[in-house]
Amino acid sequence: QVQLVESGGGLVQAGGSLRLSCAASGSIFSINNMAWYRQAPGKQRELVADITSDGRTNYADSVKGRFTISRDNAKNTVYLQMNSLKLEDTAVYYCNVLTRDAFGGTRNYWGQGTQVTVSS
């Protein structure tokens, strides 16, 4: 099937930056939407940003102006550049991809999650 491998999480001070990566591999016919979600303890998983196959982006209001989502279609990889990090950005971040197979079916795949911790 398809596997997503995330990297780039870690511990940073407020105001700092991190760059997350998510690489898709396996049986891939095409990838439509790619997205980043996050989930803090005791909270619902929320959409942070997503990007379409032709580069159109969407961001949660809480991260607009601070985060940038991008993708490299040749590498089947999506990135999340996180700047001016705040304490409330602390969460486990998950990437998600929507794939289409050779028969026209679609499936969602999730990365394993990577911890981002912002300290004061």
Kindly state the tokens that stand for 44: 């619902």
**What pLDDT is attached to residue 102?**
86
Distance (Å) of CA 9 to CA 22, 56, 90: 11, 24, 10
With CA atoms as reference, report the closest residue to 50 among 96, 114, 107.
Answer: 96
Two tokens, residue 68 = 């940038």
The string of pLDDT tens digits covering residues 84-115 is 999 999 999 999 999 998 888 999 999 999 99
Whether pLDDT at 27 is above 90: no
